Amino acid sequence: MNLFVETYGRQPDGVWASPGRVNLIGEHTDYNEGFVLPFALHQRTVVAAGRRAAPGWTVRSRLTGETVHIGRSDLSPGAVKGWAAYVAGVLWALVDAGFAIPDCDFAVESDVPLGAGLSSSHSFECAVLTAVEGLGDFSIPGIEAAKLVQRTENVYVGAATGLMDQTASLLCTAGHALFFDCRSLEVEQVPLDLASDGLALLVLNTNTPHTHADGEYAERRRSCERGAEILGVRALRDIGVADLPEALAKINDDVVRRRVRHVVTENARVQDAVALFRAGRVREAGPLLTASHASMRDDFEITVAQVDTAVEAALRAGAYGSRMTGGGFGGCIIALTDTEKAGSTARAVEDAFAAKGFAAPEWFTAVPSAGATRLL
Ligand code: ADP
Ligand code: MG
């Protein structure tokens, strides 16, 4: 990779890549020990890495134009702030888990949109992790690696994220979505061949980054925990849709009641979508996506005006289904359309944004792609 050569004046020892992801359905079900259905994008973070003689690590990012040095003493939570914390955090999690890791230089390039709910942070962390594994000549099994990356985010970076994003980034395969059970940690590759079904999945970035949503996420998490406590279950995963009317009748707090309803119905929608995918009936999953959006908007209250406008415009333009993807408070929407209607659907959203004075959105059609790999 050129950036590595430009920065360090030598060739890297290897190049690794790890993708961003779209979550098709199953939002905020992960920490309720439920189901999610992400797939990997072709947009990814590429990390070139080379062993170095001097102790410590150096990382350069094309995106920030900065080079940051990380020393042994930085391998404790909070020591490195800003974007390089994602690298220091992975190194810390590895050392903390007892791995002997090599001193090395990294150069990073990415085309995953940042802060858009496509998980650029996890694709960055997973790319660094696989690079260190490659140079260190050790290999950590999938879910264990995902848990290490979760520690990076939760403890080092300080973001209360679950296990979905890094599991997707590490374990997804091309042409499939990943059905992930966040309790048993079992994964199943579910075929998702959009093109041969004459379908496209439009991903449209509303350009409303979810920057200050951490407090909101924490509040949603607390409401879910409260709901589980009232209902006497370990997690909301343990409530099925059939039990929902009875369960809701036990909850006096209207906010908690609506949060519970979102999680329980969303968990059922993921399973329904998987059943349709397994049967090759992807198009019919559209209404599940739209129902998921309504639930996020009305019951979980994690959408914003731009996101709702985009979903409504996509549906008016004839999409089979549409929803916000990611943790909420901005970011991207997805819309399932016929292949030839992806562009006109995106233009319908552009028009709706212009009419409301919102900044122009960006869009692309998603290709379910491979998880983390070594490129060179
Ligand atoms: P998301 O994961 O949804 O994209 P986050 O806020 O969790 O949003 O992560 C975005 C942050 O990840 C950025 O602000 C930046 O600190 C870091 N990041 C991601 N990719 C890169 C990169 N290529 N170079 C430097 N920092 C990056
Ligand atoms: Mg992130």
Structural domain containing residue 84: 2-191+370-374
Nearest-atom index, ligand 1, CA of 327? 3
Ligand number nearest CA of 326 is 1
C-beta of 166 in contact with ligand 1 (< 6 A): no
- Whether residue 83 has its Cβ less than 6 Å from ligand 1: yes
Ligand 1, atom 5: nearest CA belongs to which residue? 115
Give the pLDDT score at 215: 87
CA of 112, nearest ligand number: 1
Q: Quick check: is 360 in a domain?
A: no
Has residue 237 been placed in a domain? no
Q: Which of 1, 4, 70, 114 to mutate to test the pocket of ligand 1 (most atoms within 8 A of CB)?
A: 114
Determine the pLDDT at residue 209: 79
Is any ligand 1 atom within 6 A of the Cβ of residue 3? no
* Residue 55 counted as domain residue: yes
Name residue, tokens 């549906």: 315
Domains contained in the chain, number? 1
- Is any atom of ligand 1 closer than 6 Å to the C-beta of 64? yes
Residues 326, 41 contacting (CB under 8 angstroms): no
Considering every ligand atom shown, identify the ligand nearest to the alpha carbon of residue 162 and give its number. Answer: 2
Structure confidence at residue 373 (pLDDT):
97
**CA distance readout (Å), 135 to 47, 58, 130, 359:** 12, 15, 9, 43
Q: Looking at the domain assignment, is residue 276 inside a domain? A: no
Q: Which atom of ligand 1 lies closest to the CA of 120?
A: 4
Give the number of the atom of ligand 1 that is nearest the alpha carbon of residue 119. 2
- What's the rounded Cα separation, in Å, for the pair 317 and 349? 8
Which ligand 1 atom is at minimum distance from the Cα of 86?
17
The CATH number that applies at residue 25 is: 3.30.230.10
Nearest CA to ligand 1 atom 8: 115
Measured in Å, residue 126 CA sits from the centre of ligand 2 at 12
Each residue's pLDDT tens digit in the chain (376 positions)? 799 999 999 999 999 999 999 999 999 999 999 999 999 999 999 999 999 999 999 999 999 999 999 999 999 999 999 999 999 999 999 999 999 999 999 999 999 999 899 999 999 999 999 999 999 999 999 999 999 999 999 999 998 888 999 999 999 999 999 999 999 999 999 999 999 999 999 999 999 977 778 889 889 999 999 999 999 999 999 999 999 999 999 999 999 999 999 999 999 999 999 999 999 999 999 999 999 999 999 999 999 999 999 999 999 999 999 999 999 999 999 999 999 999 999 999 999 999 999 999 999 999 999 999 999 9
Residue 84 lies in a domain: yes
Residue 93 lies in a domain: yes
Ligand 1 atom 6: residue of nearest CA: 115
- Residue 138: inside a domain: yes
The residue whose CA is least distant from atom 18 of ligand 1 is: 121
Active-site residue (options: 74, 105, 165, 299): 165
Best residue among 61, 63, 68, 83 to mutate for probing ligand 1's pocket (most ligand atoms within 8 Å of CB) is: 83
Q: Does residue 165 carry a catalytic annotation?
A: yes
- pLDDT at position 113, please? 94
Whether residue 135 lies inside any domain: the answer is yes
Residue with the smallest CA separation from ligand 1 atom 15 is 83
